[in-house]
């Protein structure tokens, strides 16, 4: 998720194994790596290959302090929005890739008060123009 615009890139990862998380993260973000600067993650062991992700995307990778969810407020808010579609603790393998894409589309086109009631996709397009038009 882009912190400034709230734009969400979401993809299902079939397992929580670090190899799968690494591959899914790189595959998802590689098309926009020129626009990326940093990733901030929690301290889960699924991010043990963070150096590989950082190298492949050419970015800095940071971790929040343990038990400090407020350091990732945008992420926690977005998780709450996703929970409107997927209950916490659900097996993500029960959800299709198409459904995950639909959630992403809905959240990216949902107006937000903090964005002056524009959607994250509108703000992202205004920020980056035609270069990211294909993603919206």
Does the pLDDT at position 105 exceed 60?
Answer: yes
For residue 112, the domain's CATH number is 3.30.420.10
Query: pLDDT digits over 8-45, tens only?
Result: 889 988 888 999 999 999 999 999 888 888 888 878 89
In a domain, 7, yes or no: no
Whether 13 maps to a domain, the answer reads no
Number of structural domains in the chain = 1
The pLDDT of residue 136 = 43
**114 or 69: which leads in pLDDT:** 114
Q: Which of 10, 14, 18, 22 is nearest to 55 (CA)?
A: 22
Mean pLDDT value across the chain: 86
Mention every residue, 6+ apart, whose C-beta is less than 8 A from residue 25.
Answer: 39, 53
Using the predicted structure, report yes or no on whether residue 130 has a pLDDT greater than 50.
no
Task: Mention every residue, 6+ apart, whose C-beta is less than 8 A from residue 99.
Answer: 85
Residue 72 falls inside a structural domain: yes
- Which range of residues forms the domain containing residue 83? 18-128
Question: Is 66 inside any structural domain?
Answer: yes
């Amino acid at each position: 998720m882009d912190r400034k615009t709230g734009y969400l890139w979401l993809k299902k990862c079939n397992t929580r194994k670090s190899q799968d998380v690494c591959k899914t993260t790189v595959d998802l973000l590689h098309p926009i790596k020129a626009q990326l600067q940093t990733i901030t993650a929690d301290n889960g062991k699924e991010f043990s290959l963070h150096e590989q992700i950082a190298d492949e995307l050419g970015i800095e990778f940071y971790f929040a302090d343990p038990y400090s969810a407020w350091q990732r407020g945008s992420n926690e808010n977005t998780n709450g929005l996703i929970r409107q579609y997927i209950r916490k603790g659900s097996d993500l393998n029960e959800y299709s890739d198409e459904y995950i894409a639909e959630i992403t589309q809905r959240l990216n086109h949902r107006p937000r008060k903090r964005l002056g009631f524009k959607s994250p996709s509108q703000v992202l397009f205004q920020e980056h123009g035609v270069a990211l038009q294909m993603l919206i």
